[in-house]
Each structure stands twice: as C-alpha cells, then as structure tokens.
Amino acid sequence: MHGYKIKVEENAAPEDVQALWRNLYEFNVAQTGQQGQFLSVFLRDDKGQIVGGAHGWTAFGWLHIDVLWLRENIRRKGLGRQVLQATEAEAKKRGCKFAELETFSFQALEFYQKNGYVVFGELDQIAGEHRWYFLKKNLS
C-alpha cells in the first residue's frame, strides 16, 4: 500500500467518524438520487424532561429506527406504542412504505411483534445465550 497506513483507533475523533458517515451518505445520494432525513420523537414529562422517545432516519422508502426507549417506571402503559405509532406516522408522511429495526432478546422483541413487526433475521450467541433480532413492518 503505497503511502497508506491502517490504524485502529479506540477513541476516534468525532469529526473523523463523521467524515466516514458524510462520505458514505454522499455516495448513497449519488447512487440513488434520494436524500435521507433524521426522525426524532420525544416523550417528555410535565417539566420537559425526556422520559422516552425514538430516533432513526427515513430514506429509500424505509423508516429505520435506531433507538426506541422509555424510562422503566413508565413502561407497560401504552406510551411505547404511542411513540412507535407517532414515529411510523411521520415516516408515512415522508413516503415510507416499510420500517425496520433491531432488538436483542433481552429487550423488546414481543413489544415489536405485538405492533406488527416480523423477524426476518437473527444472530445467536450474543453476550452468551442472547439473540439479536432484525425486524420489519409493512407501513402501507
């Protein structure tokens, strides 16, 4: 490799990581002609504090949910479903026809399945006996 060095960096500078994402994003736009857009939905208490929410992106007719989280003491009250529905509704407004996300076996597989998501792939032996599930949903 003339003039190139490969180096593992445990604490990479945020701007260096952003350079990777920016360049991949620009390549994707050049190939598809479509730009992605972040999507964030927050659940806040009466003091404005975040107690839950979802974050991901929309592109290529798909919603990708990176994270959906609720504070433990407010779970199982229908709020997670409402956050998920609000996220999906915004994705539909943006033209998305499908959604996809990932969850571990110790997280929320049943929650997503109850909300219409189906497993299309999984990995085993995650931190021992756990599984990593990949799910999708038809939004139309």
Q: Is residue 83 in a domain?
A: yes
Q: Is residue 31 in a domain?
A: no
Which pLDDT belongs to residue 126?
95
Residue 131 sits in a domain whose CATH number is: 3.40.630.30
Q: Is residue 7 in a domain?
A: no
The tally of domains found in the chain comes to 1
Structural domain including 88 reads 37-138
Q: Is residue 19 in a domain?
A: no
Q: What digits encode the pLDDT tens for the residues 92-101?
A: 999 999 999 9
Q: What digits encode the pLDDT tens for the residues 28-74?
A: 999 999 999 999 999 999 999 999 999 999 999 999 999 999 999 99
Q: Is residue 76 in a domain?
A: yes
DSSP codes joined into one string, 37-71: EEEEEEEE-TTS-EEEEEEEEEETTEEEEEEEEE-
